[in-house]
Amino acid sequence: MTPLTWTDLDKRAVDTARVLAADAVEKVGNGHPGTAISLAPLAHLLYQKVMNVDPSDQDWLGRDRFVLSAGHASLTQYIQLFLAGFGLEVEDLASLRTWGSKTPGHPEVHHTKGIECTTGPLGTGVANGVGFAMASRRERQLYDPTAVPGESVFDHFVYVIAGDGCMQEGVSSEASSLAATLELGNLILFYDDNRISIEGETKIAFSEDVEARYAAYGWHVQHVDFTNGMTTYSEKVDELYKAIDAAKAVTDRPSFIKVTTIIGWPLPTKAGSHSVHGAKLGGDEIAGLKRELGFDPEKSFDVDPEVLEYTRSNAAERAKAVRGPWEERFAAWRSANPDQAALLDRVIARELPEGVEAALPVFPADKPIATRAASGNVLGALANLMPELWGGSADLASSNNTTMKGVSSFIPAERSSKEFTGDLVGRTLHFGIREHAMGNILNAINLESLTRAYGGTFLVFSDYMRSSVRLAAISKAPTVFVWTHDSIGVGEDGPTHQPIEHIPSLRLIPGLDVVRPADANETSAAWLQVLKNHERPAGLILSRQNLRVFDRSEGSGYASTEGVAKGGYTLAEASAEPQVILVATGSEVEIAADARDALEASGVPTRLVSMPCVEWYTAQPDAYKASILPADVPKVVIEAAQPIGWRDVLDGTVTAIGIDHFGASAAAGVLYEQFGLTADVVVDAAKALI
Ligand SMILES: Cc1ncc(C[n+]2csc(CCOP(=O)(O)OP(=O)(O)O)c2C)c(N)n1
Ligand SMILES: [Mg+2]
């Protein structure tokens, strides 16, 4: 980088940011002014001097990515987006945290221009940053494979600001450990070491040397102390700028810069106190701040036009200066790499490759197979056709069947193991046993949207990553969570490993598709539908145990998998007007099919509906729903999970058979018998209804 130029206009812009943060929180009466005030110099440096971003085009592929992991300090970013000209105006800052504003309490992707990902749950942004850094490397490998690392149009830096809370949360440790292992040299993490969180001084609960911890992970570590020599902070800014420069020069390790600050500095009486973390400051304190910084204490949201003109034109000129040459390089890349360019265009257009349907495996009916194994076959079949697809597991690859055959690992070559070979084109992800980081890493990769990523673990451990699943849904990240070992069908591992409440509880997350295919061919169809959805995350809920593969050939009595995309469909029609309808998901569909056979044999016309995805079913037109599940026919549902929620999905009389207690350590078949998940129980329930 060129040496830092820092004029009086920069100082005034930083002070303007501090005053705006105070005013914005005061106006709405709540919010987080302290950190936005003390971090204003760092934020200004990033947006005005360091990052390659284009305020006129938030989606510019060549941009650096920025994540505010300390999401409560959203004003830190909103004010820079305003000053740099990303589309926010003073009115937007003045409507902070109010209905319909562009400035919600925490940064929200797809809501405010320039926000890359939704943050707020502390620590997750660190994992998002790791995901963005991984995405960048994979994009270079995929689209620009002959480029020298660091010199591709797909190379860029990822900057993350985290606070004490982020450093305390386990997810940041998970992600940071992995980032060093993967040698993510394009990642730069700032730790705002102000030693204050909501309960006050962090020393009551936080004592380790965080720098030493990051050094131990293998990061490049630096420290800039803003509490020492505060009145000449322009010098401090220069020190920070040089630290960023040094961090960028280290390309084989991620960089950690601890920035020691005083929260809320230079507030006259409240700087350094937790009272400025998350509350308005009060008129006197703000007047004091304004006097100290040379602002009129009588005026609010007072932005000197000269300052705004400076920050906006500076940001625009910087964008022009970096983007011009980048566009030339991009055009050169395009003409030199027509195949990769076509691939990029397809991925950006969110289209699946031609022939994807034909490539999906079709499984023969005579060979039972677990849906997790079928899923692995699907991935193998898609590997060559969809090079943008990549993923892995939190150390359960052989159980989750998440490794695409013939694909190498996304690890530095020297980390190749007896089991896995890594290289620069690796696509198999090894998250280690870090489910929470995995979820947030996947979300960032999928929000970046130039590749598509999935990750697996046991369904029971979806609890460990639940916050990331929720964030995927909130932020419309099309992450595919591969959750196998989906019920008491796990068997001998016992109750800690047997999900009971997980399926219904995941269905409670709005915007998440919970997809539980009944057999191998439904698994193929389910993957296809999941991949077609680019704005929704999905959890594929897959069996450990082998399942019957329904014979869906003409005249077999079982329907094709066409209905899977509708979420629920008639798998087997009743021999006459149905007197009862059996509804099942996943591994319980074969039990329901046996029950249907028995009911039909005893003269009860019975329809069998497979419901792999309640969310897709619910979205169907009423007429479709009434055609397969009419209100006036009683229904029996069977699912090896808490039998909750079915009466909200199905009209009319419903008996739900499931399991409302923990499982036990025994063979799967024994557990199904012992816990009453059998065809006989279904038959009895159906007869009781008619
Ligand atoms: C996972 C999670 N737990 C709790 C919170 C509530 N919370 C918001 S900010 C905060 C304290 C953060 O302290 P720090 O990161 O040091 O920020 P600072 O006070 O320095 O701005 C807490 C506990 C949260 N946002 N996320
Ligand atoms: Mg703090």
Domain boundary among 482, 507, 541: 541
Residue 233 confidence (pLDDT): 65
The residue to mutate among 25, 198, 260, having the most atoms of ligand 1 within 8 angstroms of its beta carbon, is 198
Instruction: Tell me which residue of 611, 605, 565, 602 sits closest to 584, measured CA to CA.
Output: 611
CA of 206 to the centre of ligand 2 (A): 11
Distance CA 67, CA 637 (A): 44
The residue to mutate among 32, 38, 72, 166, having the most atoms of ligand 1 within 8 angstroms of its beta carbon, is 72
Residue 334 DSSP one-character state: H
Amino acid symbol at 283? G
Tokens of 587: 């591994």
Same-domain status, 306 and 174: yes
Pairing of strands 220-225, 255-260: parallel
Phi, psi of 454 (to 5 degrees): -130, 160
Tell me the CATH number at 588: 3.40.50.920
Same-domain status, 16 and 99: yes
The pTM (predicted TM-score) of the whole model is 0.98
Residue 230 confidence (pLDDT): 57
Which residue has tokens 């808490």?
642
Same-domain status, 240 and 199: yes
Residue nearest to atom 23 of ligand 1 (CA): 198
Same-domain status, 50 and 110: yes
Tokens of 521: 């061919």
In a domain, 578, yes or no: yes
Ligand 1 atom at minimal distance to the Cα of residue 165: 15
**Beta bridge mates, 222:** 257
The active-site residue, picked from 108, 174, 435, 522, is 435
Tell me the CATH number at 101: 3.40.50.970
The shares of helix, strand and coil residues in the chain, as percent rounded to the nearest 5, are 45, 10, 40
In a domain, 554, yes or no: no
Successive 10-residue mean pLDDT values, the chain, 690 residues? 92 97 97 96 97 98 98 98 98 98 98 98 98 97 93 97 98 98 98 97 98 98 85 78 98 97 95 94 97 97 98 98 98 98 98 97 97 98 97 98 96 96 92 98 98 98 98 98 98 98 98 98 98 98 98 97 98 98 98 98 98 98 98 98 97 97 98 98 97
Distance CA 489, CA 52 (A): 51
The Cα diameter of the chain in Å comes to 90
User: Which range marks the domain in which residue 635 is found?
Assistant: 561-689
Query: What does the radius of gyration of the chain's CA atoms come to, in whole angstroms?
Result: 28
Distance CA 32, CA 7 (A): 28
What SS3 class is residue 59? coil
Ligand 1 cavity residues, CB under 6 Å:
34-35, 70, 72-73, 120-122, 163-166, 169, 194, 196-198, 263, 277
Ligand closest to Cα of 166 equals 1
Same-domain status, 491 and 582: no
Residue nearest to atom 25 of ligand 1 (CA): 121
Residue 2 confidence (pLDDT): 87
Distance CA 191, CA 204 (A): 19
CA of 265 to the centre of ligand 2 (A): 13
The residue to mutate among 25, 37, 122, 474, having the most atoms of ligand 1 within 8 angstroms of its beta carbon, is 122
Cβ < 5 A residues, ion ligand 2:
163-164, 194, 196-197
Ligand 1 atom at minimal distance to the Cα of residue 194: 20
In a domain, 418, yes or no: yes
Residue 542 confidence (pLDDT): 98
Distance CA 94, CA 109 (A): 20
Same-domain status, 504 and 566: no
Same-domain status, 195 and 262: yes
In a domain, 350, yes or no: no
Amino acid symbol at 552? R
Ligand 1 atom at minimal distance to the Cα of residue 35: 21
Distance CA 592, CA 590 (A): 5
Same-domain status, 223 and 78: yes
In a domain, 679, yes or no: yes
Same-domain status, 45 and 172: yes
CA of 122 to the centre of ligand 2 (A): 11
Same-domain status, 92 and 183: yes
Instruction: Tell me which residue of 448, 525, 500, 502 sits closest to 479, measured CA to CA.
Output: 448
Ligand closest to Cα of 106 equals 1
Same-domain status, 96 and 228: yes
Domain boundary among 261, 296, 321: 321
Active site residue 435: yes
What SS3 class is residue 456? strand
In a domain, 233, yes or no: yes
545 to each of 370, 426, 486, how far by Cα in Å? 5, 30, 9
Tokens of 317: 């000129």
CA of 157 to the centre of ligand 2 (A): 25
What SS3 class is residue 538? strand
Residue 232 confidence (pLDDT): 58
CA of 632 to the centre of ligand 2 (A): 59
Ligand 1 atom at minimal distance to the Cα of residue 34: 21
Provide the sign of the torsion angle of the four alpha carbons 619, 623, 624, 625, taken in this order.
Answer: positive
Scored b (16 or more CB within 10 A) or e, 463-492 reads bbbbbbbbbbbbbbbbbbbbbbbbbbbbbe
Quickly list H helices, 278-385. 283-293, 305-336, 338-348, 356-359, 371-382
Which residue has tokens 């369904």?
459
Residue nearest to atom 18 of ligand 1 (CA): 197
Same-domain status, 493 and 616: no
Residue 335 makes CB contacts below 8 A (sequence gap 6+) with none
In a domain, 2, yes or no: no
CA of 204 to the centre of ligand 1 (A): 15
336 to each of 62, 139, 143, 145, 590, how far by Cα in Å? 18, 16, 11, 11, 53
Residue nearest to atom 19 of ligand 1 (CA): 197
- 611 neighbors 503 (Cβ within 8 angstroms): no
How many domains would you assign to the chain?
3
Domain boundary among 489, 513, 541: 541
In a domain, 335, yes or no: no
CA of 48 to the centre of ligand 2 (A): 24
